[in-house]
A and B are shown apart, each in its own frame.
Chain A
Amino acid sequence: MGERRVLLAPLDPVHDVGLKMVKRALDEAGHATILLPPDLPVEEIVRRAVEHQVDTVLVGRTLGYNVPEELARLVDVMEATGLRSRVRLGVGGMAVRPELAAELGFDRGFGPGTTPAEAVAFVEGRDYQPPAPGEGGRKPDLTAGYSYRVHDPGIARTLETIAAGTVAWARERTTPGVERARIRRQLLAADPGSGAELRQEYLTHCDPRIQAFYREGVPAGRTRPLRREEILALESAAGARRLEPLRLRHRRSRPAVFVQYGTGCPLMDIAHNRVGEGWGADGLVHFDPSWSARCEGLMEGYHTHEEDGSLLTLENLSAVGAARQPWTLWQVRAHRGLNTPETVVLAAAAGADLTKVNMVYGSLGAGTDPGRLLVDGVECLALAAEFGLPLDVVTNEELCGVPAAKAFAGMLIVAAIAVHLGARPLLQPLFCLSPDVMVNGQMDDNFLDYNAAKVHALRAIMDAPIWPGAPIGFLTHTEDRVQSAVTTALHAALASSLDVDAITIASTDEAYSGGAIAAASRVDTLRATAEAFRFFGSAGMAPTGRAREWAGELVEAIGRILEAVLARGTLEVALYQGLLGGPGDGAYPGRAGRGTVSRR
């Protein structure tokens, strides 16, 4: 790349800061620059361009008034002087847009938000490549580089014993959920049309509502099949243009930011996901209807759901997954209900990148029978390992009132089972104003210390990726959108400052919408988060000494709880007896699927 001679001319009464920024970048790139003072007449600027024999003229214009006339005159005089065949001409400034630059006859226009690198690329005659999202335009691997080593040998032994025992216990058992997953895999592998017998077998493990769907075509829940034109629209959405997203992170490469979707309608999901991706989200989390988690069996085909949560079918999932950007991570959650193993099968078949499993939360906070979910969950984790799907282990039981230490003990057990089975878990502590904290006051002063303590504690125990969620700032949102955006952004900044691997954020209306979420509210928190990342850069937040103290207390408590679980014999019994959260903590062993576990 040869040195270029560049004339920088503020065609403005005073403003020249943008041009000076561009000059610095050009100087650093080794080009020769001449910066003129503001407010010179057009003829004078052209005269200087001739005298200095420049090959690029960059004009700056900030003021919005009388822009076109002066700039057009400059372009015309340059042309008439014969310079336009060898001098490239660019204009930048607050009042400039590409269309205006084209109308005025400039080779390029640089509006607000231009980076100096763009101007350098123009001067050097290169196409400007904005930094690619993800890892060079591909998906990052959030679990890369983690060993899953448990640092304390005692805790390591305890976790491994519980994990091995639970896997052995579960492997002697089966459930309708495990059977359906097996049959679904066979159905997916079977030739189209040849699955009649398999389907019959599948239906013997299903809820009557699902049987009615397959036998009589009656859609379950408040759903309806998509119409032909809706399906065509879905297919064309998959081929839609690549986005050039806004940049969310500033200097750091972590955390990846996930947003949640589940409007009920796959088309709407795609639209919402585009918004999220356009405003810089790195990942999407699929939400399914809550009734479906309590209903044995999954439907097939394209379906829309009238209420929140998008139906888990291979078709729905594939359409939404295919419409994402190549760098976007996509998580399909399997964590809590009666269809968990089958969900992992569908997620893998639809090309998902991640799933989510936590038998402890699912059985203590989400209404599924502990024994049933343990058997299903172990199958889930084995499938996730087989399909190479990393998974997060969420600790939403904290929202019921379970203290962090118990929730973390449960999370670590599930993570240990996952590792035992060869899967790659991510730990998902909540960054939230949890009921336990509200009662016991750990956040009376600030939100930093206790959230930081959680991350410190987990890191002290296991070398595993950490993904605060889900979403961060739970219970700190109000009906006020600005307040909700600010609190999300501050929690995101804390997560970034703690150098965690990922976060999930909510829209500003998620907590109070009482129904559909507005796309604009997604933009609120994404923009606010970007602003917080920009504000802190690679600087950090400073929790007080309490954070380390609490972390130490958490580690100790977790160790004690794990010992107690081990002493109880099986994880199933420990769950029923409330060792990882009991009625006093607002946790109740669930009933869905009770009595459906059978011995192999």
Chain B
Amino acid sequence: MKLAVGVAGTAKNTGKTTVLRVLLAEAAAAGIPVGLTSIGYDGEDLDHVTGLPKPRIAVPRGTWVATAQTALRPELEVAESTAVETAVGRVALARAVRPGRAVLAGPATAGGLTEVIARLHRRGARLVLVDGAFGRLAPMTAADGLIIATGAARHREPKLLAREAGAIATLFRLPRWPGDGHPRLRVSGPGGERVLPYPALLDPAWADELAAEAAAVGAREIHLPGSVSREALGRLGSQLDGPLKLVFSHPLHLLAPGEPLAVAEALAALAGRGFELGVERGLSLLAFTINPRYPVRAGGAYQWRAGDGGRLLAAVRQAAGVPVSDVVAEGPAVVWAEVQRLLGRQ
């Protein structure tokens, strides 16, 4: 079976590219045809924020790469161009005619990523690896599995990181209730169904409107697509009661505002009040990876520092409920095993 695995980060410099390199090497060793793309920009020599050298993305011969035409290197031979646009030009599909290096500038949206993954699969890639960018997660809804890199570049304090990883993981464990994917806020109950013109729960005023409609129809189910702001969710919760199902669209949509702890707490509070929570769609959270290194600004330039890797690993492992690994210290085995399992399962 063919599938796509995203490698996302909770922040920049949490080690995404390193994980990607490890997966590329393992897939090559296992003889699995690989396709590669990114939801941002990666693989350049120096980071354009910190100026620090970045790990390069080495691609074995035969790898399919989807990247902007302007980022193509000579070892990549273009096979087709696409209409998917990036800020540095159109995405093309190219194949490494010899071992080389890739600079990835790929589709920034879920729609673009879905198309690019399909094309890479059609070209014969069994495993498509999708490189994340900053803490951006939402486009990864187009993937089948996700590895999340976290580490000291996000927070220095291992306990905080562990709690956050735990919070993220709970969102992926929400039950899946496949629905119609309706893109607007909607309530339904014995009194009928009402649709509001809003694609997400971003404003407390929208929450008020929604609560009023819910009361009017005696809502049993509230459909909450898109992302939710903590404030609006709190406001909604405070006005609801009774046995009620809250259906969100996707764990990654809940994570988009970048406040996993707050969202998980708000959801826990709702669950505590007896509401049933679920998502329409989801994807498998395969593993967390941790990186104890972080850049600091010193004397006008950035430098790398490192925290206690062992402590960090232990803390996150205890909280996450999914496999956790430091691929630099431990090697690829833990993470690769999860990818293989997903490949086998599909």
Contact = CB atoms under 8 A, between A and B. Distances in A.
Interface stretch (A97-105, A317-325, A329-337, A478-486): A97-105
Interface residues of B, number: 44
Nearest to B106: A102
A64 to B, nearest CB: 9
A47 B229 CA distance: 11
A538 interface: no
A248 B193 CA distance: 64
Interface string B171-202: 00000000000010000000000000011101
B87 A50 contact: no
A76 interface: yes
B324 interface: no
Contacts of B41: 99-100, 102-103
A43 B229 contact: yes
A68 B49 contact: yes
B282 interface: no
Nearest to A42: B257
B297 to A, nearest CB: 10
A73 interface: yes
A31 B85 CA distance: 23
B226 A82 contact: yes
Contacts, number: 130
Contact of A84 (B111, B133, B183): B111
Given A80-B253, A103-B41, A107-B87, A69 B135 contact: yes
Interface in A15-59: 42-44, 46-47, 50
B345 interface: no
Given A80-B253, A81-B199, A72 B134 contact: yes
Contacts of A47: 202-203, 206
B198 A50 contact: yes
Residues of A in contact with B, size category: 20 to 34
A80 B48 contact: no
B87 A79 contact: no
A266 B182 CA distance: 66
A103 B257 contact: no
Interface string B1-31: 0000000000110000000000000000000
Interface of A: 42-44, 46-47, 50, 67-69, 72-73, 75-77, 79-85, 97-109
A99 B47 CA distance: 10
Contact of A101 (B87, B109, B135, B138): B87
B257 A73 contact: yes
A171 B225 CA distance: 91
Given A76-B256, A80-B227, A102 B135 contact: no
A350 B139 CA distance: 55
Given A42-B257, A43-B202, A102 B226 contact: no
A7 B42 CA distance: 29
B229 A72 contact: no
Contacts of A44: 202-203
A77 to B, nearest CB: 5
Nearest to A83: B199
Contacts of B229: 43
The list of the 4 closest CB pairs from A to B, nearest first, reads: A80-B256, A105-B108, A79-B138, A103-B41
B109 to A, nearest CB: 4
28 contacts: A44-B203, A50-B199, A68-B49, A69-B134, A72-B133, A73-B257, A73-B258, A76-B258, A79-B136, A81-B200, A81-B202, A81-B227, A82-B199, A82-B225, A83-B199, A84-B111, A85-B109, A99-B41, A99-B48, A100-B49, A102-B41, A102-B88, A103-B48, A104-B133, A105-B109, A106-B108, A107-B86, A108-B87
Interface of B: 11-12, 39-42, 44, 48-49, 68, 85-88, 105, 108-111, 133-139, 183, 198-200, 202-203, 206, 225-227, 229, 250, 252-254, 256-258
A98 B202 contact: no
A81 B111 CA distance: 13
A185 B48 CA distance: 57
Nearest to B134: A72
B236 to A, nearest CB: 14
Given A85-B109, A101-B87, 12 more contacts: A43-B203, A43-B257, A68-B134, A73-B257, A76-B257, A77-B200, A79-B136, A80-B252, A82-B225, A82-B226, A104-B134, A105-B108
B138 A102 contact: no
Contacts of B226: 80-82
Give chain B's interface secondary structure class.
loop
B40 A102 contact: yes
B103 to A, nearest CB: 9
A73 B133 CA distance: 11
A69 B258 CA distance: 9
A108 to B, nearest CB: 5
A543 to B, nearest CB: 49
A97 B48 contact: yes
Contacts of A80: 138, 200, 226-227, 250, 252-254, 256
Contacts of A68: 12, 49, 134
Given A99-B41, A99-B88, A101-B87, A82 B108 contact: no
A582 B135 CA distance: 79
A98 B44 CA distance: 13
A97 B322 CA distance: 37
A68 B12 CA distance: 9
A46 B135 contact: no
A109 B198 CA distance: 28
B111 A85 contact: yes
Contacts of B258: 69, 73, 76
A97 B46 CA distance: 14
Nearest to A64: B49
Contacts of A105: 39-40, 108-109, 133, 136, 139
Contacts of B198: 50
Contacts of A73: 135, 256-258
A101 B206 CA distance: 31
Nearest to A89: B108
Contacts of A75: 108, 136, 138
A29 to B, nearest CB: 21
A342 to B, nearest CB: 43
Contact of B202 (A50, A85, A102, A107): A50
A451 B41 CA distance: 54
Nearest to A97: B48
Nearest to B12: A68
Most buried by A among B44, B108, B139: B108
Contact of B136 (A76, A98, A99): A76
A75 B86 CA distance: 13
Contacts of B87: 98-99, 101-102, 106-109
Given A79-B110, A80-B227, A84-B111, A104 B253 contact: no
Given A73-B135, A85-B111, A103 B40 contact: yes
Nearest to B257: A77
Contacts of A42: 257
A218 B88 CA distance: 52
B109 A72 contact: no
Contacts of A79: 109-110, 136, 138-139, 256
A42 B40 CA distance: 20
A109 B199 CA distance: 26
Given A79-B109, A81-B202, A98-B87, A104 B256 contact: no
